[in-house]
Structure 1
Amino acid sequence: MKQGIIHATLIAPDLQQVCAAYVAQLALQVQQRGTLDADNAAALDLVDLIGAPLVWLANSAGEPVLRVIEDPRAVVAEPMFRHGWLSLEVLVGDIDALAAGLRSPFKVLGPAANLELSDAIRAAQVLGPCGELLYLTQIKAQVPPFDLPMTDATVANTFIGVMTTPDREASQRAWSALLGAKGWAFDTRITVLNRAYGKPLDGRYPVAVVPMPGQCMVEIDQVELPAAANLRHAGQYSLALRLPAVDDALLREAGWAVTATGERRSLRGPAGEHVELLLA
């Protein structure tokens, strides 16, 4: 049974527009249509959306990798200006070819480029139709000490969840407790944030990376932001993780808000990020 990041959840004001864009341009396929039931709404902390229309999108291997839930009231805004989930880092086979073919409602924020970390990692940042930010990433070779996946598929799956936080140390402590690994902390250039904030492109940020099973990771970027309005934003809402059993008391002590829902946990991190935890 696969562990690590299982799928992501988007909130979309217009479900049909989002699904049509992902099918036409990112090689996903509609696997199932339905509505949000009470159990899943509780696991997502979205009880007010019980009965909302939803669609599961699958990759070319038939794996459901994206759940899109409709909320016409959700506010579309770029995620760089609030703490919590920033981006889905999605594994792709050929980033240059994929990015070159993207058009509205996707917006490529900058040309594909090699990462400062390694020339073996090449990525482009793309804003999606409901305000979600995607790091479309091609891995050409292993980059020790990280354990990274590779693919020949046009679009494979989310393998890194990227978040922003006002406090890297607090967020790294919470995620290390959840994932059972301390990870690495360093400073690095983040071009998409520098562009958004109008800063020099070589500006650097405190970052932490914490590994999880299944060749997945979470990236934690520390940025200073004003307090955001208490709104439900469209775009990336939650990541579903399948992990070995964890102690709820330990998670709470490390900074997580934990709500048990049967074999699942609804987790809210110290920067506001939501996790749907499935116990392996």
Structure 2
Amino acid sequence: MNAPHLKRGIIHATLIAPDLQQVCDAYVTQLAMQVRQRGTLSSEDAAALDLTDLIGAPLAWLANSADEPVLRVIEDPQAIVAEPMFRHGWLSLEVLVGDIDSLAAGLQPPFKVLGPAANLELSDAIRAAQVLGPCGELLYLTQIKAPVPPFDLPMTDATVASTFIGVMTTPDRDASQRAWSALLGAKGWAFDTRITVLNRAYGKALDGRYPVAVVPMPGQCMVEIDQVDLPASPTLRHAGQYSLGLRLPAVDAAVLAEAGWMVQDVGERRSLRGPAGEHVELLAG
């Protein structure tokens, strides 16, 4: 039986970093987080993350001002730091913040603000800035000022709250939307929209549009699926965003596999690899 008191949706994200201390220092000093726990990657956690070669690697859990552990950082000195816009899979963590203009204005290296804070085309109630982090992770720091129906979006007064949307790129929006709809039990919405950070990265006109899908999940969270055409690249371990830890209602493994997920059960958790290469750690409860 599912425990109703447990939070649902996106519980935490996992980053891979060549330099663990650099990432911890940056998030603590500039994004109002605290190092809640340090340790090493256990064999069970490594299996749930499909990172068995990193068993014993140093790691740290970073907590927000509500003392929620929202970011796990695992050290891999061999990981390649590169901008995530040029490979399929996870693109960005969309992180809820209280005042994007003040936060973005104060960011310094190793963070890099890719463009000034601006209202989204979708709604003037959503204001965001795109920021590259110290290990190549892309953050959409997002302030929600008012309800934006039909989407169920959270709001906060905290400097930095938590990830509420996982953003990914895929060669096939429809295939990825089918997979995520099977996992989340909702079809979501499909539309075309302007994505400034991708247009800048690809040297395209800033009004260029992309096929996008958004699929809701419990806990006022979502996944955003952006279809982009990219050349094939070698399978290497990149630094930056690696996985999302989700807690969701149970879905049969056969249903997930038919929808395009690679499924591996690890104890009470489940390791999922999506059609575009994105990794998900399904948590118990």
Match of 2:231 among 223, 226, 237: 226
Paired residue secondary structure (1:233): coil
- Cα deviation, residue 195, structure 1: 0.1
Aligned to 1:236: 241
Aligned to 2:29: 24
Paired residue secondary structure (1:152): coil
1:181, 1:211 within 8 Å by CA — same for their partners in 2? Answer: yes
Aligned to 2:72: 67
Aligned to 2:3: none
Deviations 1:129-176 (A, max 9, x none): 000000000000000000000000000000000000000000000000
Deviations 1:2-58 (A, max 9, x none): 000000000000000010000000000000000000000000000000000000000
Give the aligned residue type for 2:185.
Answer: G
* RMSD value, Cα: 0.4
1:255, 1:270 within 8 Å by CA — same for their partners in 2? Answer: yes
Partners of 2:188 and 2:167 lie apart in 1 by 14
Aligned length: 280
1:245, 1:279 within 8 Å by CA — same for their partners in 2? Answer: no
User: Where do 5+ consecutive residues of structure 2 fail to align?
Assistant: 1-5
1:9, 1:67 within 8 Å by CA — same for their partners in 2? Answer: yes
Partners of 1:181 and 1:90 lie apart in 2 by 22
- Cα deviation, residue 245, structure 1: 1.0
Match of 1:7 among 2, 8, 12: 12
Paired residue secondary structure (2:283): strand
Give the aligned residue type for 1:68.
Answer: V
Aligned to 2:93: 88
Paired residue secondary structure (1:185): strand
- Cα deviation, residue 279, structure 1: 3.6
Aligned to 1:274: 279
Aligned to 1:55: 60
- Cα deviation, residue 220, structure 1: 0.0
TM value normalised by structure 2: 0.98
Partners of 2:262 and 2:232 lie apart in 1 by 20
- Runs of 4+ in structure 1 deviating by more than 2 angstroms, as ranges, are none
Partners of 2:264 and 2:257 lie apart in 1 by 10
Give the aligned residue type for 2:88.
Answer: H
The alignment status of 1:189 with 2:194, answered yes or no, reads yes
1:244, 1:279 within 8 Å by CA — same for their partners in 2? Answer: no
Aligned residue runs from structure 1 range 173-212, under 5 A? 173-212=178-217
Partners of 1:146 and 1:221 lie apart in 2 by 17
Partners of 1:87 and 1:228 lie apart in 2 by 19
Deviations 1:45-79 (A, max 9, x none): 00000000000000000000000000000000000
Partners of 1:109 and 1:228 lie apart in 2 by 24
- Cα deviation, residue 217, structure 1: 0.1
Partners of 2:23 and 2:37 lie apart in 1 by 15
User: Where do 5+ consecutive residues of structure 1 fail to align?
Assistant: none
Partners of 2:127 and 2:272 lie apart in 1 by 31
Match of 2:123 among 118, 124, 135: 118
Partners of 2:97 and 2:222 lie apart in 1 by 16
- Cα deviation, residue 230, structure 1: 1.1
TM value normalised by structure 1: 1.00
- Cα deviation, residue 278, structure 1: 1.3
Paired residue secondary structure (2:280): strand
Aligned to 1:253: 258
Deviations 1:95-122 (A, max 9, x none): 0000000000000000000000000000
- The sequence identity of aligned pairs, in percent, is 87
